[in-house]
Chain A
Amino acid sequence: MISPSILMILGGLALPLLPRRFRSAVAIALPLAALWIVFNLADGATIEAPFMGYVLVLLKVDRLSMVFGAIFAIIAAAGGVYAYHLKETGQQSAALIYGGGALGVAFAGDFFTLLFFTELMALSSTYLVWARRTPEAEKAGFRYILMHLAGGSLMMAGILLHLAETGSIALQHFAPGGSLAPWLILAGVALNGAIPPLHPWLPDSYPKATVTGAIFLCAFTTKSSVYILIRLFAGWEILIYFGVMMAVYGAVYALLVDDIRKILAYSIISQIGYMVTAVGIGTSMAINGATAHAFSHILYKALLFMGAGVVLHTTGRSKLSELGGLAGRQRLTFCLYMVGAFSISGLPLFNGFISKSMVVSAAGEAHLTGVLLLLLLASIGSWLHTGLRLPYFTWLGDERGLQPKDPPRNMLVGMGILALLCVLFGVAPSLLYRHLPHEVHFHPYTVPHLVETTQILILAFVGFWLMRDKLAGGRRLLLDTDWFYRRPAPFLRKYVVEATAHAFRKSETLAVGFVHALTRTAKNPVPVIQRMATVPGKGITGGEFDPDQARPTVQFIVGLILLTFVVIALLILL
């Protein structure tokens, strides 16, 4: 038995050794092989390895990890198709290693393995931001990796504390509250999962990543965090409140920002909100809902990012205020994007409907009426920003006379595959339901669900149509919680970094100057002595220094000192 994550990571490392023309194909074949392995894993199978006195569980299979493992492999393969035209081995390798890391997290059986793969994901994904090779991407990449290293450190601190308390590194579900260790781990996972206020790295970096890199970014990092939350923190009530807050928070920002991939980035935060809420509710239906929604979300969000990527690739533009009227020249891209848009908005027959309704119903079943209504509000938001605002102002709206070039065919094939899966799971939900961690007693296609969805979506559309001028976007920046580290950055740089450097420079100059003066004096102290002996105004020595004149006096004094030493020595010896 071989671990699917190790296969992907080794494949990613070996990719540069292969002939160039095979690399793109291998970048699709490896995830498919990993998927095949995942399908053939037996429930309960493990791979263990000894490490410094501990037993690492590199692979531990159960129903939950199977669902996440499968979707990670599927999306890595679909992303490989979308990126088939790419001739950049660095990005291809990074994507494979990143996907391998996500699979590693999904199958990790202990905390060390979990942490290792999480960090591997952070490192490999940063490259997908940097590979865009713009100054903005470089800076955003640095902020991204710093935030993730901070998250990793929080996790590590929690894990070490947990190890000190219990002596065990095996993954286990934490009881709510209790010691500091789970809270530290939760903070680290919350950062990776973009739970506000720890989320700003996501909308900062994803829109600046490469066209193809963004597909992998939107799928792996946040969803692996959802997986960890389900595994460790199911039933933590605090997650309900943070989840609902982030569902609405993301929706509000997605209605305001101008960059299409930034809209989708905030829309990820909103969608993760559903999953986090469900994890917080923690009933079997809610956990099923969180898992199913993560699965659906990965499919349609990658599809949406692919659509936005095609626009960026073919026009070089990504701002709503610079786009418009592309539908005539990009009919297929537009239609495929709309499949993703209908999915995220939860239209019946699309896969968002079968998972989102499960989360909302789980909130209803737990009698969380306020939560339920706010989740419905967030879902109105999804429909407004990703389902209507983005496509309206990109492909419809004002004709700007843009002449997009043709996208590589493989990009559209990648989109087509995901669109097909979105519809397939929407039409036949049991394909997904029978693999969920708990037995499913939920039917999405009931009259009340359909009534609810129809009314909400149609009337929200009317609202959009009447008020769409307010959503047109515009060239501007929106403050987010990254203000707290970006606003003080220049001042910190000036008063902490540069002031310290300045102080060091100054003291160095002083020290060197002092030593220099001292050496000069020691070489020839006479002028100094002369200067000191000279009383201004009176003048006692006068004239230039003449060594011959001074020599007899010095000889006499030195002779006297030597004689004194000899006398003392004789006195002691006798």
Chain B
Amino acid sequence: MKRWHWITLAILVAASVVAGFLGHYEPGHGHWWDAIPAFYAIYGLAGSAALIYLSWLLGKKVLQRGEDYYEALEDRTTGEEE
């Protein structure tokens, strides 16, 4: 990522925040967070950080096993018999 990439993205976000004040949802479709400026930017960042970190943690602490987990299990069980 070069510097001008980041600048472009920053300009886009800034433009979208400004546009957020101009555009309105149709009445009756509003949400409580419409009053928070740049809510979706905050949600995007917080959401991605939370997803990445929690998935990583879940994988590390709970779900991760050796690549041959099921095969090894089978070998161990059949091995006992011999």
A contact residues vs B (CB 8 Å cutoff): 251-253, 255-256, 361, 364-365, 369, 372-373, 376-377, 380-381, 383-384, 446-448, 450-452, 454-467, 470-471, 475-480, 486-487, 489-491, 493-494, 498
Contacts and interface: CB of A to CB of B under 8 A. Distances in A.
Contacts of A446: 23
A477 B74 contact: no
A377 B65 contact: no
Centre residue among B24, B32, B53, B77 by max chain A CB count within 10 A: B77
Main secondary structure of the interface of B (DSSP, over half): helix
A470 B45 contact: no
Contacts of B42: 459
A491 B48 contact: no
Interface in B11-70: 12-13, 15-17, 19-20, 22-25, 29, 31-32, 38, 40-45, 47-49, 51-56, 58-59, 62-70
Main secondary structure of the interface of A (DSSP, over half): helix
Given A448-B25, A478-B65, 18 more contacts: A255-B55, A373-B43, A381-B51, A451-B16, A454-B16, A455-B16, A455-B38, A455-B40, A457-B44, A461-B9, A461-B48, A462-B48, A465-B1, A467-B48, A467-B52, A470-B52, A476-B65, A490-B76
B81 A470 contact: no
Interface of B: 1, 9, 12-13, 15-17, 19-20, 22-25, 29, 31-32, 38, 40-45, 47-49, 51-56, 58-59, 62-70, 73-74, 76-78, 80-81
Contacts, number: 152
A478 B51 contact: no
Contact of A490 (B15, B16, B51, B78): B78
A460 B48 contact: yes
B19 to A, nearest CB: 5
Given A454-B12, A465-B1, A493-B77, A459 B56 contact: no
Contacts of B73: 487, 490
A361 to B, nearest CB: 8
Contacts of A480: 63
